[in-house]
Amino acid sequence: MQTLINKASIELWNNLKTGDVEALGKLYDLYVDSLFRYGLHTSNDKEYVMDCIHDLFLDLYKYRSKIAATENVEYYLFKALKRKINRKYRSKLITTADISYFTKNQSIPSFEEDMISMQHNTEKINKLKAAFHLLTKRQKKGITLRYTENKPYEEIAEILNVSVASSRTIIYRGIKVLRQHLALFLLFLSNIF
């Protein structure tokens, strides 16, 4: 079955190269669903993926005389779609970055603002250190392994000599303690300023 589809698509591909619009439509009908599913692995934006698929088929027709012969049309289309999604995504990011750069308030913080910001950061770090000292040894070790050394829970469980579920619980409870103490600190800061 797959070889029949492949032979038919190669024939449609060759017809497309000669300018057959009907062949383009049949290729679209044959591959649009699988291209859409494939595109969603690269981007979660359904409309964006469909736009890229439509652009791909427009480009296929526009540059039909330049497209290469292929033995696997599906692979060619998947690869071309991936390139198109990535290229459009990059240009979309650049455009968004350019707009935000020019529309953002570009005031330079004063020396005093920098000093205040540094003091706030120092206070937050000191408060975090103080809260960290409230944790048990296992909680400290678990959080350090997870968030500083990026260890998976399985490795943490081995190091702490506990089950994977216990390692998750230890880390969760440690983070809960940190949140409680930092929330009080942030509430205190918000009342001051």
Distance CA 123, CA 142 (A): 24
Q: For residue 53, is it within any domain?
A: yes
Phi-psi region of 100 (alpha: psi -120 to 50; beta: other; left: phi over 0): alpha
8 Å CB contact between 177 and 139: yes
pLDDT value at 146 more than 60: yes
More confident: 116 or 186: 116
- Report the CATH number at residue 32: 1.10.1740
pLDDT value at 172 more than 80: yes
Mean pLDDT over the full length of the chain:
81
Pair 33, 62 in one domain: yes
More confident: 3 or 23: 23
Res 114: pLDDT? 73
Res 193: pLDDT? 47
Res 9: pLDDT? 85
- Report the CATH number at residue 136: 1.10.10.10
Pair 66, 141 in one domain: no
Number of domains in the chain: 2
**24 is in which domain, residue-wise?**
2-103
Res 168: pLDDT? 93
pTM over 0.75: no
Reported as a pLDDT band with limits 50, 70 and 90, residue 117 is confident
Pair 17, 99 in one domain: yes
Buried b (16+ CB within 10 A) or exposed e, 164-184: eebbbebbeebbebbeebeee
Pair 57, 126 in one domain: no
Mean pLDDT of 49-55: 90
Res 165: pLDDT? 93
Pair 12, 75 in one domain: yes
pLDDT value at 127 more than 90: no
